[in-house]
């Protein structure tokens, strides 16, 4: 991660479909950004199960992030979320994610972006994260911006473990470990997380880091 304060984002919003998605796909990066002084917010739809909501709030706290539940996934709700938070960076799911909830969230967020960016200038950069075993419906996730998260890996895994109602030890934890080591090996570190820039009004980020 870039240590130059001039190039670090001031605010980051992850908009995900499920309470454990931010931790699984971007937890190490979010923890690193929070430690660097960025205002990090994790936004997910409010779950019908109060336990899932409590776990999401606890996991966000572990990462040093704010937890922002929102009512439902539609363009108006996401437009309002972006308008209120006005983040410099947004992280969401791949547009061709294998999970239908992830695809729906990413498509709805993308539909809300042009109007809010024209009106406010935010977000300035948008990225998509990883997915199950790094495979989308179009094939493997391509390497783009791989962030070294070795120093915050333990924080990521503690945040993921906060979702105790989910099969973390049996499924999501081992998958996170495999993906973390895969992306880390690409850049010569122990653990990494990969992000792909999403065009906003036909522009992609020039920054070498998030």
Domain hosting 188: range is: 7-197
Please check whether residue 205 lies inside any domain of the structure.
no
pLDDT of residue 3: 42
Neighbours of 40 (CB within 10 A): 28
Antiparallel, parallel or unpaired: β 135-136 and 139-140: antiparallel
Please check whether residue 62 lies inside any domain of the structure.
yes
Please check whether residue 181 lies inside any domain of the structure.
yes
Query: What are the tens digits of pLDDT across the range 104-133?
Result: 999 999 999 999 999 999 999 999 999 999
Q: Please name every residue paired with 43 in a beta bridge, in sequence order, or none if there are none.
A: 15, 68
Q: Which stretch of DSSP H or E encloses residue 84?
A: helix 75-85
Please check whether residue 48 lies inside any domain of the structure.
yes
pLDDT of residue 7: 59
Please check whether residue 31 lies inside any domain of the structure.
yes
Q: Which two tokens stand for residue 176?
A: 């996170």
pLDDT of residue 209: 76
pLDDT below 50 — which residues of the chain?
Answer: 1-6
pLDDT of residue 208: 66
Instruction: Map residue 147 onto helix, strand or coil.
Output: strand
pLDDT of residue 31: 98
Please check whether residue 26 lies inside any domain of the structure.
yes
Q: Which stretch of DSSP H or E encloses residue 90?
A: strand 89-92
- Tell me, what CATH number does 111's domain have? 3.40.50.10320
Give me the number of domains the chain comprises: 1
């Amino acid at each position: 991660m870039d240590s130059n304060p001039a190039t670090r984002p001031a605010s980051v919003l992850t908009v995900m479909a499920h309470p454990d998605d931010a931790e699984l796909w971007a937890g190490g990066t979010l923890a690193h950004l929070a430690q660097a002084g960025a205002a990090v917010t994790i936004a997910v739809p409010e779950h019908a199960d109060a336990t899932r909501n409590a776990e999401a709030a606890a996991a966000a706290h572990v990462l040093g992030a704010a937890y922002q539940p929102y009512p439902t996934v539609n363009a108006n709700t996401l437009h309002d979320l972006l308008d209120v938070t006005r983040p410099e960076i947004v992280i969401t799911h791949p547009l061709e994610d294998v999970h239908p909830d992830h695809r729906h969230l990413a498509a709805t967020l993308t539909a809300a972006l042009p109007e809010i960016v024209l009106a406010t200038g935010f977000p300035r950069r948008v990225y998509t994260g990883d997915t199950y075993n790094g495979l989308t419906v179009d094939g493997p996730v391509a390497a783009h911006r791989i962030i070294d998260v070795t120093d915050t890996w333990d924080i990521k895994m503690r945040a993921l473990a906060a979702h105790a109602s989910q099969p973390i030890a049996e499924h999501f934890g081992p998958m996170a470990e495999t993906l973390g080591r895969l992306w880390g090996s690409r850049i010569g570190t122990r653990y990494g997380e990969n992000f792909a820039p999403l065009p906003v009004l036909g522009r992609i980020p020039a920054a070498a880091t998030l």
